Amino acid sequence: MDGMTQLQRQWREHTAYLRKEGYLDDQFEQLQKLQDENSPDFVAEVVSIFFDDSEKLLNNMARALEQKVVDFKQVDAHVHQFKGSSASIGAMRVKNLCIEFRNHCEAQSLEECVRCLRKLQYEYSVLKNQLEYLFRLEQQIRAAGV
Amino acid sequence: MSFLHVVGFGLKVGHLLLMLCCWIVSVISMNWFINGGIMDTKSGMFCDSGKMWLKWWEKISGNNCMIHHHYYQYIGSKRVPKTWWKKLLMTWVVGWLIVSLSIFWYMSLQANEKRKETLQSMCDERARMLQDQFNVSTNHIQAMSILISTFHHGKKPSAIDQRTFARYTERTAFERPLTSGVAYAVRVLHSERAQFEEQQGWTIKRMDTLEQNPVHKDDYAPEALEPSPIKEEYAPVIFAQDIISHIISIDLLSGKEDRKNILRARASGKGVLTAPFRLLKSNRLGVILTYAVYKRDLPSNATPNERKQATDGYIGGVFDVESLVEKLLQQLASKQTILVNVYDTTNLSHPISMYGSNVSADGLQHVSTLNFGDPFRKHEMHCRFKQKPPWPWLAITTSNGILVIAYLVGYIFHATVNRIAKVEDDYDKMMELKKKAEAADVAKSQFLATVSHEIRTPMNGVLGMLHMLMDTDLDVTQQDYVRTAQASGKALVSLINEVLDQAKIESGRLELDAVQFDLRAILDDVLSLFSGKSQEKGVELAVYISDRVPEMLIGDPGRFRQIITNLMGNSIKFTEKGHIFVTVHLVEEVIGSTEVETSSENTLSGFPVTDRCRSWKGFKAFSQEGSTFPLTPPSDSINLIVSVEDTGAGIPSEAQSRVFTPFMQVGPSISRTHGGTGIGLSISKCLVGLMNGEIGFVSLPKTGSTFTFTAVFTNGCSNPNEYKSHKINNQSNSASTEFQGMTALVVDPRPVRAKVSRYHIQRLGISVEVVSDLNQGWSNISSGNGAIDIVLVEQEVWDRDSHLSSLFINNFKKIDRRTPPKLFLLANFISTSRTSATTSGDNTPSIIMKPLRSSMLAASLQRAMGVGSKGNARNRDLPSLRNLLLGRKILIIDDNNVNLKVAAGALKKYGAEVECADSGSKAVSLLKPPHSFDACFMDIQMPEMDGFEATKLIREMEKHGETSVEAYDNVSNWHVPILAMTADVIQATHEECLKCGMDGYVSKPFEAEQLYREVSRFFQSVPNGNL
């Protein structure tokens, strides 16, 4: 029981930390609310789809930016998608970066875009780590609960 | 445009005047030329001036042509330049100056002419008279010559001697008015001289010395004269009038003038005149007329020599011209005294003056020729006026008058032109200002629209966040803060929405929907919206809709609701006690009826109200009264009249005029106490206008106000018969069937309130009887027909007499029937109902809270009577997302898997069946009718085919598919609601959504409230059968 409460506390604290640092926003909370008996792993499912999508998109972006003649429109489309999905799961920092990225795409400045992509990759990896940690906690809680 | 007319008119008048002036000028000049031709003197000068005139004329007419040209050129253009006007004016001034000068000239010429004519006639008259008298004299002298020839020469001895001659001539002097004396000289040949001299007793004397040395009168002595030298013949005077008796014995042939005369007279046989010369003795100017006296009658063609031979003597008359002419003129002395000169002009180069002074006068003179019967001598009479010609006053005044008139006209013209120019300038300025003002107005509206939109977007964020904050763990204080913040935010958003509406209306961008809606449901909704507030304040709220108003109408429910909400909001704001009563009728009903409900007992709450008939007094549709019936389009068009009546503070009469002006409130204190922007009524007015209706009100301070508006909708029930059969049917028909066939008894003393209650109960399919008090009600129940299932008692009646009420309950219990009628109280306020509950103890009947709404009524009845499922009713009453979405089949289109999953999760949570697809083309194929989806949520930004395009295609399919799927189901009109999902909630996007056939939009991470708002819009009207 003690471990359970500790885990739960840890989970809460971590969630609060993610919120405070701006990694996640309300939307994530909304997602958590959508999770119920009918779909117990709803958040995890969504997030794993997000991860898959994101990696694909990041790779696409990187590849597009490496081209000799950079098609900024295509990059912009990728970033837009990334922004959409990050907004959907409430990944605020990633989303904000995407907005910045899109501005650079519009300005067609390759340098800034590449810099943004790096930042995005970094933020994404941090988010991924954080979320994975959160899910691990969740699983532990569930395991303990069962 | 009227300016142009004025200018045109001015031009025309000017042109007319100019033409007139030109015509006058031409007439005058023509006349003048004709006159000029007659003039025989100074013609050279006239010719010159004539040429000048012609030049002028050419110039003027050329100018005229130019004016014509300009005139026609400018009539098309808008403005006439000032410089042109100045030119015209100058031409006008100069032209008229010339005209007046010429008139002056012409008139003075005329005057001169007249003067000349007068002079001429006078001169001629004088000349003729002179001539006549002269002729008379000559004739007489001639007669005397015959006398002498007869009596002197013809008789031997002579019958005439000097004395006889002198007396005869003296006595016949009147016959010769112009002669001063007559003398007769006889022809004496030299051979006869001696005999003659002897016979006469004197010698013939010569005259020439006398002529050479003129003597003074006094010194004159004929005796001193020398005897005539020897000549061939002599002509000594033998008879003479006494006046000139001194010339007797003088040989006339010795006088130079007399000799010439005598010779000429002898040769011609006619009277002959001498040149004027100084007379002997009198020394006055005179002429002598000489006639020859012949021995016998000579033929008229006798030669001069024959005549000479036959000559016996010579008779001569002395004409003292000077005195004679003077005498004559004195006879003729008239007003116009003239100067007369008489000249002998036999020698043209040296005319000899016979009469008149040589006073030089002005140039005007007239010359008349005088014929004294001697062809050899020529005489002329010169006449001149003594005075200088008078000033030609008539000409001066006339020309000046014309000039003054012309200049006055010119001045008027000038003033008019100036005025027109000024007005035009002002007009231009006004137009500019108007444009500026309009631009400013547009800019204001745009600014309002932009700013309010810009504020609304972040405000939505704030509200959303606050909503989420509410869901988190908050303590009581925090929750209170958040609630306050949310309420303020909502107020702000609604205010912004109002401003945006106003701006939209002002810029004319507001358009009304045309969708099917249920009027009664909307009014129930609005009622429920205000029910909390009304209960708080203790104000009774009621809605009554006439049975004749169709179930379904087509129009813009949102805007209709906005109007009602606005009016009710106002009413509830200003009403502290009494009631707010909304009535909906067909216009035809109201016109037909003349019911007066103003007596205080007859109102809903018993408070006096204003006469609502007066609120629609000003409506156009009513002004023709009965005649509107045929005018209202038949069948489909439904003309509603809605009144909102309250018993509030009323509007002060001084503020009534600006009630519908935006941002106008009764006073600054009102906005402090009641809040609000004062924009609502103005928006309502605009909306009513858009619905082809009119709005009006009547208000009495301290009594209340009634706002009434009309609106035109289309009948939503395609078949009026169908509507009649389902009249009772409403959206809560699940309940209505349960109550079908029941009978209710309403105990209410107020007919109006009873009518409202009856309306609501009847909507559930229950037939209603109304009685005014409990006793009567009881007798109705116990009368035995036993059909009454429900008894509804107005709380007022119930509380009035607790004894009677308890008796009633006791009686009620005694009713021996399978199903005793249920007793309900219709209560207004929570507080009073509670007190009544405590007093009545266990016997308290169920309470139905007002305001009555069919759904709420149904729920209460169901609860009390145990029919139907409670949940159903409650769900209906408190609709939620889950309610709306439960069991709905929804298609979600998004290319983003994460978004898809999240959206699907959210919708699933609300009980919807969700299907997902990740591209627009898939959506199109899935939504090809027939299909089973209730709604579609579509992302806008998608690769390949975006949301707009997909929607357009789907709508296209639905349109074309209609015919092919006619037989499929009973769905006649495929229109699947499509909602856009978009991250950026911008007005433009929203409008584009609507344009390509979408029904609304939701922000991408779903916000529960917004989702509900959008979904409820069309799921409410989706028939239940689709569930």
| Phi, psi dihedrals of residue B897, rounded to the nearest 5° | -60, -40
Cα–Cα distance for residue pair B976/B1026, rounded to 1 Å: 12
Asked if B962 contacts B973 with a C-beta cutoff of 8 angstroms, the reply is: yes
Which residues of chain B fall below pLDDT 50? 1, 33-47, 50, 65, 67-68, 70-78, 212-219, 596-600, 625-632, 720-735, 831-842, 867-879, 964-972, 1021-1027
Contact A46 B898 (CB under 8 A): yes
Cβ distance of A88 and B943 shorter than 8 Å = no
Nearest to B449 by CA among B502, B370, B400: B502
Provide φ and ψ at B460, rounded to 5°: -60, -40
Contact B906 A34 (CB under 8 A): yes
β-bridge pairing B637-646 and B578-586: antiparallel
Helix (H, G, I), strand (E, B) or coil at A42: helix
Smallest CA–CA distance, residue A52 to chain B, in Å, is: 10
Q: Nearest Cβ partner of A84 from B468, B909, B983?
A: B983
ipTM: 0.79
Which residues from B are below 8 Å from A when comparing CB atoms? 464-465, 468, 894-899, 901-903, 905-906, 908-909, 939, 941, 943, 983, 1004-1006
Q: Express as a percent the part of chain A with pLDDT over 90.
A: 0
A40: enclosing H helix or E strand: none
Contact between B825 and B847 (Cβ < 8 Å): yes
Where do runs of H (alpha helix) occur along B844-894?
A: 854-865, 870-877, 881-885
Q: Which residues contact B353 (CB under 8 A, 6 or more apart)?
A: B276, B341, B342, B343
What are the b/e assignments for A38-53, b being 16+ CB within 10 Å? eeeebbeebbbbbbeb
Contacts of B395 (CB under 8 A, 6+ apart): B103, B104, B105, B106, B107, B108, B110, B111
Q: Which of B548, B448, B454, B457 minimizes the C-alpha distance to B501?
A: B448
The tokens for A86 are 């990050």
Cα separation values, B494 from B455, B488, B562, B674, B680, Å:
11, 10, 11, 16, 11
Q: B914 vs chain A: nearest CA distance in angstroms?
A: 14
Q: How far is CA B119 from the centre of its chain?
A: 64
- Are A88 and B899 in contact (CB < 8 Å)? yes
**Cβ atoms of residues B254 and B236 within 8 Å:** no
pLDDT, tens digit (0-9, with 9 covering 90-100), for A89-108: 888 888 888 888 888 888 88
- Pick the closest to residue B342 from B320, B362, B363, B364 (CA basis): B320
Q: What would the two tokens of residue B225 be? A: 């004269």
Q: Map tokens 């205010």 to a residue.
A: B495
Longest dimension (CA), chain B: 204
Of A36, A46, A53, the CB nearest to B902: A46
Does A37 lie at the interface with B, CB-CB under 8 angstroms? no
Phi, psi for residue B289 in degrees, rounded to 5: -100, 130
Provide the CB-side half-sphere exposure for B915 (13 A, CA): 16
Q: Is B902's CB within 8 Å of A45's CB?
A: no
Q: What percent of chain A has pLDDT over 70?
A: 97
Residue B433 has what pLDDT?
A: 95
pLDDT value of position B870: 36
List A residues 73-92 in contact with B (Cβ-Cβ < 8 A): 77, 80-81, 83-90
- Which chain B residues are within 8 Å of A90, Cβ to Cβ? 1005
- Nearest-by-CA chain A residue for B1005: A88
Interface test with B, best of A73, A88, A96 (most B CBs within 10 A): A88
Phi, psi (rounded to 5 degrees) for B877? -70, -40
* Three-state SS at B138: helix
The C-alpha angle B856, B857, B859, rounded to 5 degrees, equals 65
Report the C-alpha gap between B337 and B906 in whole angstroms. 135
Residue A26: which of B468, B909, B939 has the nearest Cβ? B468
Residue B984 backbone dihedrals phi, psi, to 5 degrees: -100, 115
- Give the sign of the dihedral formed by CA B618, CA B623, CA B628, CA B631: negative
Question: Residue holding tokens 């600006």?
Answer: B658
- DSSP string covering B793-854, please? EEHHHHHH-HHHHHHHHHHHHH--SSSPPEEEEEES-HHHHHHHHHHHGGGPPEEEESSP-H
Residues on chain B touching A33 (C-beta within 8 angstroms): 909
Give the integer Cα–Cα distance in Å for B381 and B354. 10
What DSSP string runs through B314-336? EEEEEE-HHHHHHHHHHHH--SS
List beta partners, residue B849: B827
First to last CA, chain B: 65
DSSP per-residue string spanning B989-1007: HHHHHHHTT--EEEESS--
pLDDT score recorded for residue B427: 94
Could you give the CA distance from residue B143 to residue B132 in angstroms, rounded to a whole number? 16
Q: Which residues of B526-547 are buried (b: 16+ CB within 10 A; e: fewer)?
A: bbbebbeebbebebbbbbbbee
DSSP 3-state assignment of B94? helix
